[in-house]
A and B are shown apart, each in its own frame.
Chain A
Amino acid sequence: MLRESIQKEIRQHLLTTRFVTCLALSLLLVVFGALVGSQEHRQRLEEHGKLASVEREKLSDIRVYSHIKPVASRKPTPLAVFNRGHSDRVGSSVAISHRSVPFLATGGGLENELLTLFPTFDLIDVVCYVLGLLALLLSFDAISGERENGTLRLIMANAVSRGRIAWAKYLSGIITLFIPLLLGFLVALLLLNIYSPIGLTGEEWLRVLLIVATAVLYLSAMYLVGLCLSALTRRSSTALMISMLVWLMFVLVIPNLSGFLASQAVEVETTRSLQLKKASLEEEAAHLVSQYESGLPPSQVMGDLSIYGVDGEVLVRLGRPERYAWLNDSYTYLNRTELRYADRIWDIRRDHLHRLARQSARAYDFSGISPAFMADAITQKLAGTSLEDHEDFMEATRTYRGEIISYIEARGGFDTRRWFTDDPPDQKALVLDPETFDRNRMDMERAWAMLAAAEQDRSRILNLSDMPWFRFYPATVFESVGRASGDLASLAGLNIFLFVFFLWAFSRYDCR
Chain B
Amino acid sequence: MNTTRVILTCALKEYLASFRLLLGFIIVVFLMASGALIYSLRYQQEILEYRGVLADLDDRIRKESQSLAGVVTMGLEAYRRPSVLQFVVDGGEETLPNRIPYTVNLWMSPAREGGVNYMLPPFEGLDWDFIVRVILSFVAIALTYDAVSGERERGILRLIMANPVPRDKFLTGKLLAGLIALCIPLLLGALISVAILTLFGGIRLAGGDLIRLLIHLLTSAAYLSLFVLLGLIVSILARRSASSLVLLLLIWVCLVVAIPGMARPLATIAREIPSRQEFDDEVSQIFNDVLKEYEGKDVSHAPLNVAPIDESEFRWAEMMDKVDEREQEVVDHYWMMKMGQAAFARKIAMISPAGLYQRAGQDLTNSGLVRQEEFARSVKTSREALASFGREMDAKDPASPHILYRPWYMSQRPVDPDIVPRYREEVGGGGGKGLSQGLVGALWLLSEALVLFVIAHVAFLRSDVR
Contacts and interface: CB of A to CB of B under 8 A. Distances in A.
A71 B277 contact: yes
A241 B298 contact: no
B294 to A, nearest CB: 9
A115 B257 contact: no
Interface stretch (B115-123, B393-401, B422-430, B437-445): B115-123
Interface string B5-40: 000000000000001100100010001001100100
Interface string A383-416: 0000100000000000000000000000000000
Interface size class of B (residues with CB under 8 A): 35 or more
A397 B254 CA distance: 41
A249 B265 CA distance: 26
Contacts of B112: 113
A130 B115 CA distance: 33
A445 B296 contact: yes
Interface string A430-451: 0000000001101011001000
Contacts of B188: none
Interface residues of A, number: 87
A360 B298 CA distance: 57
A121 B250 contact: no
A395 B302 CA distance: 45
Interface in B288-340: 295-298, 300, 302, 307, 310, 312, 338-339
- For the residues of A in contact with B, the DSSP-based class is helix
A417 to B, nearest CB: 23
Contact of A270 (B49, B122, B276): B49
Contacts of A111: 273-276, 338
A272 B243 contact: no
Interface string B127-139: 0001000110010
A205 interface: no
A158 interface: no
A263 B302 CA distance: 51
A107 B275 CA distance: 6
Interface stretch (B65-73, B165-173, B203-211, B341-349): B341-349
Interface string A1-31: 0000000000000000110011001000100
B231 interface: no
B311 to A, nearest CB: 9
Interface string A193-224: 00000000000000000000000000000000
Among A376, A442, A444, chain B packs the most CB atoms within 10 A around the CB of A444
A459 interface: no
Among B35, B261, B267, B341, chain A packs the most CB atoms within 10 A around the CB of B261
Given A106-B276, A256-B124, A442-B300, A117 B269 contact: no
Contact of A114 (B249, B253, B339): B339
A255 B130 CA distance: 13
Interface in A102-141: 106-107, 109-121, 125, 129-130, 133, 137
29 contacts: A21-B246, A22-B246, A40-B268, A107-B276, A107-B277, A112-B342, A113-B110, A114-B97, A114-B341, A114-B372, A115-B345, A117-B368, A118-B345, A120-B122, A121-B262, A125-B257, A125-B261, A129-B258, A242-B23, A252-B134, A256-B125, A258-B121, A270-B114, A310-B284, A360-B117, A363-B120, A367-B121, A439-B312, A442-B298
Q: 9 tightest CB-CB pairs across the interface, nearest first?
A: A121-B261, A259-B123, A271-B114, A114-B342, A360-B119, A116-B95, A118-B264, A18-B246, A444-B298
Interface of B: 19-20, 23, 27, 31, 34-35, 38, 41-42, 45, 49, 52-53, 91-92, 94-97, 110-126, 130, 134-135, 138, 142, 242-243, 245-247, 249-250, 253-254, 257-258, 260-269, 272-278, 280-281, 284, 287, 295-298, 300, 302, 307, 310, 312, 338-339, 341-342, 345-346, 349, 368-369, 372
Given A114-B342, A118-B261, A442-B300, 17 more contacts: A17-B243, A32-B262, A36-B269, A89-B118, A111-B273, A113-B95, A115-B267, A115-B268, A117-B368, A119-B264, A129-B258, A133-B250, A252-B135, A253-B27, A256-B123, A257-B31, A448-B295
